[in-house]
Amino acid sequence: MDIVSIAEDILNKAVKSKPDCAEVYIIEESSTAIEVKEQKVDSFQSAASRGFALRVLLGNKLGFSYTSDNSPPAIERLIKEAFENAENNEADVHISFAKPSQGVSVKSLYDDKLKGVGEKEKIERGMKLERAALQYDKRINNIRHACYEDSEYNRVLVNSNGVKSFYSDTVCSTSIMLVAEENGNSETGWEFDYNRFYDSLKIDEVGIEASKKAIGMLGAKRINTCRIPVILDPKVSCDFIGILSSSLSADSVQKGKSMLADKLNSEIASPILNLIDDGTLDGGIGSAPSDGEGTPAKRTPMIEKGYLKAFLHNIYTANKWKTTSTGNSVRGGFKGLRGVGVTNLFVEKGSISREALIKGIDKGLFITEAMGVHTANPISGDFSIGIAGHWIE
């Protein structure tokens, strides 16, 4: 029986106990993780799993249960536990489940080729990555790790309101960390790439870029305390946007954990900044036809010309504010309850190149690495971190 049929079968059994609403979520995953060291396999992991989750609503009381076993006795326990949990929970009038709506088509999420790629070819990817880094420059003297990973997912969600969502997706990634050494000085370099498609991974480029980063920092010196303009490497920008992302969640706002709680429709950034969350982006790593509750994915402008225009919602947070979900319900696998999270959050491309930005600064710093960004306070926005980069003068 395929997982859509399994989900519908579990739903039909749950509905027999007459909940106000019921929802079944199933996720299948198969994955490979390979680490190469000195052109030999240092570790190889291959795994497959399947998980089943059930949510039921009884008089505004939510019940949740999950299992990795779909035997008849296990499914009976799954249903029984969900109803027992609902009976023991407090009622919340803001809880509801998705209703059928016009779906969206999101392209380039699944790589048909990946299933046919053998272990030897995947191992060779890791070895090729290591070779690319070592061959770039003789000062690269140690590869701490060179990794290749991939995952394939099948996901289905059905509920008693009539919602049915099924899709498959793949993700491939590669990463490397290495050390460059010269005249007794050593520096590390790290780089990664990920893509929905196996053939689109940039293996050589990742190895070379990591080498360039390490070599570029050889002979680096501390600078005196100063106040100067900075340019952020795109990956560093992503780190800082990550801090901001939690404050864009309506859930964070409603819990008093957002620095942007009272800033809606206020100017919070430069007028040239446009920030967008787009779950419909073709090939996006965070893209999907629907979110973790079955709501169709959407494109949501968050910041327009420096003004905060929206917060991200799931059904629960939207109900509290009497608005609609933005399609940003996320689940931490089949064991996770719904939360609010970003899909593909990005800054809209500007018209000035990196080179032009650098030329436009008389004295400043191009930041290529930020250490400890995760320690920033998402409520106040305060942070104190370490940085590395290149002086502009």
Whether the predicted pLDDT of 243 surpasses 90: no
Interior CA angle at 309 toward 304 and 313, to 5°? 130
Write the Ramachandran bin of 233: left for phi over 0, alpha for psi from -120 to 50, otherwise beta.
beta
pLDDT in tens, 320-360: 999 999 999 999 899 998 899 999 999 999 889 989 999 99
Break the chain into its structural domains and give their ranges: 3-216, 230-392
CB-based contact 108:303 (threshold 8 Å): no
What the block records as the tokens of 295 is 């709501």
Close Cβ partners of 355 (under 8 Å, ≥ 6 residues apart): none
CA distance 15 to 12: 5
Residue with the bigger pLDDT between 323 and 373: it is 323
CA distance 392 to 362: 7
pTM: 0.93
Which pLDDT value is given to residue 376?
A: 84
Which CATH number is associated with domain 3-216? Answer: 3.30.2290.10
pLDDT in tens, 21-49: 999 999 999 999 999 999 999 999 999 99
Whether the predicted pLDDT of 98 surpasses 90: yes
pLDDT in tens, 175-229: 999 999 999 999 999 999 999 999 999 999 999 999 999 999 999 999 999 999 9
